Each structure stands twice: as structure tokens, then as C-alpha cells.
Amino acid sequence: MKKIVKTLLSLVLVVSINSCSDSNNVIDEVLDHETGAVLRTLEVHSNTLNSSDSSTEFSVSVEEQDAEDGALLKAVHVHVSIKDLSPGNGTTVANDILVKSFDASQFTDGPHGLPRATISATFGESVAAMGLSDTQYEPGDLFVYVLKLELTDGRVFDDTNAGGIITGGFFASPFKYNALILCSPEPGTYAVDLQDNYGDGWQGSEVVANIDGTPTAVSIPSYWDADSGTRGSVGDPQWSDISTSITIPNGTVETTWEYVGGSYPSECEFQIYAPNGDLLGDFGPSPAPGLLPVTLCATN
């Protein structure tokens, strides 16, 4: 494996944030043809929900633009579905349920004279809207939020009738967002075993635990970054197989686990173990960058 410049990739559960200097030609094309209006994502404030705290929320700031520069905005409706990724407790189905609405009066003019608002829905509101009991969801499941933009002329736009030109590219306007269900984690020391099947370490890849927003990362050091006089050989244990750990302290409210992909991901594998030694996840080769379905809820 040749040493190359580190490239960090991340799986976006939600959307990227585009600048306000987006091409006028693009928005003209959007408004003149299929879509009629857009909700541009300004910032995703939260895309995780803590099942231990009903007040935690999905939250995103958006900017609306239509053919009359926002004058057609009537309301944005927040709909939710559950994507059940924990079939051990049965498969829960609840699709396209209205949680709440934000009417035009709740938007304010942004720096470009277009209406902006922060759209949110709490875990408790979402569970109540779908009529779910606490046995019908588990940490690791997803709540999928869809914003439905209603105009004063009766038209409604969402992810099903938004063209690809606005769901990606210049305009981050997907209308659809994933929120991962978490819980307050069991404190303790989590073992993390890392392997590189080529034997020269990881080239930019990391396993990251975000503990109440503070990241702690572990990785196999790169053979190519080590001192040439003392690094030994490709295939030595220090470059191919190491065991380390990450400690989650008492009182931690929320922890997310993430894989940040670097070069040659096909050579990377890792396992995460609970403080009691139970396997929580076995990933790779070629693990998908982004949030990992690793959860262990505190027992008290």
C-alpha cells in the first residue's frame, strides 16, 4: 500500500450544508420547472434522539424559496416514520405520520429576504404521534422525518416530487432526514480491537466515540508515518492487530460511535465490546463510514 494524502469521508445520515452563494441559474431552473419551491438546509442541529429523554429532538434550520421569493409559503408539516432496525422485538410499522406543523408566521426573513425557521420535533412528540409503546422501538432504530412544504396555491412538495437538482448538488434540499435513536449509555471501559489485513496500519481511518459531544478516537498507527529506522516491517503486530479501549464515564448523557473512513478501507476491520465483554458490533472489511449501530443502555 502506498502512503497517500489522508481523505476523511463521512456518511451523511442527513444532509450537507451549502453556502448562500448558490447559483442563481440553478434556482431559476428549479422554480421554473418541476419543483416550484425548495427548503434549503442551513444547518442540522440534531439528528439523534435519546430514548431515555423524551425532550431530545430532531432539529434543522431551513430557508424556503419559491417563485415569489417566499410569498407563497403557507406551512411546513413535519411527518415521521420508523425504520425498524431491531427485529428482535418484532417489526414496527408506522409510516408518514404528521407530528406537527410550522405555519408561515413562524418563519422570519433571513439575510437574503427569504423566510427561515428552525424546524424540530421531540422524541416524545414523535412517539406519541406514531402511537408507539416503549416496546416497539429500540436504540439503533431510525426515525425518518420528512418535511412537507405547503404553498398558498395548494401545492405540496416533499422528497417524492423534488428533483435531483435540489436534493443534492448546489441546493441541500432533500426534505428527508434520518434521526438515530440512542439512549444514555452504560458507563465503563469498552474494548476496541482493530485489524489491518495488509499489515501497514490504517491510512486515516478512525473509530470515534462522541461522548456528550467530545470525540475520542482510536486507530492503528500508519507504518508509513513511522520513523523509517525503527518501524520494523509491514505485517508486524503494531501495524496489523491492536487492542485498545475507550472509557465512557458515569453520568454520560449520550454517546455515538462512528467510523471515519480513510484510504484502503477494504483492509480495515474492528470490533467493539461492552464493559462486560459482550460483542456490540463487528465491522469490516470495508466498513461503511458514518454512525455505527452500537448502543448499550444504562441499566439504572
Distance between CA atoms of 76 and 37, rounded to whole angstroms?
Answer: 12
Long-range contacts of 205-208 (CB under 8 A, 24+ apart): 205/259, 205/260, 205/261, 205/262, 205/263, 205/265, 205/268, 206/259, 206/260, 206/262, 207/257, 207/258, 207/259, 207/260, 207/270, 207/272, 208/257, 208/258, 208/259, 208/260
pLDDT at 14: 33
Contact 208, 6 (CB under 8 A): no
Take residue 119 and report the three cell numbers written for it: 424546524
Residue recorded with cell 411527518: 79
- Label the pairing between strands 214-218 and 73-83: unpaired
Parallel/antiparallel/unpaired status of strands 176-182 and 48-50: parallel
How far, in Å, CA of 198 to CA of 263, rounded? 12
Distance of alpha carbon 290 from alpha carbon 10, whole angstroms? 5
**What one-character-per-residue DSSP string does 120-186 give?**
EEEHHHHHHHHT--TTS--BTBEEEEEEEEEETTS-EE-TTS--HHHHSTT----SEEEEEEE-PBP
Residue 287 has what DSSP assignment?
P
Q: Could you tell me where the DSSP H helices lie in 189-278? A: 237-240
Sign of CA dihedral 37, 41, 45, 51: positive
Q: What is the pTM of this model?
A: 0.66
Q: Which domains does the chain have, with CATH numbers?
A: 24-182 (2.60.40.2550), 188-291 (no CATH)
How would you write the pLDDT of the chain (300 residues) with one tens digit per residue?
333 322 222 322 333 333 334 444 444 444 444 447 889 999 999 988 988 889 999 999 999 999 999 999 999 999 999 998 877 666 788 899 999 999 999 999 999 999 999 999 999 999 999 999 988 998 888 999 999 999 999 999 998 876 544 444 445 668 999 998 988 899 999 999 999 999 999 999 999 999 998 999 999 999 999 999 999 999 999 999 999 999 999 999 889 899 999 999 999 999 999 999 999 999 999 999 988 888 888 876
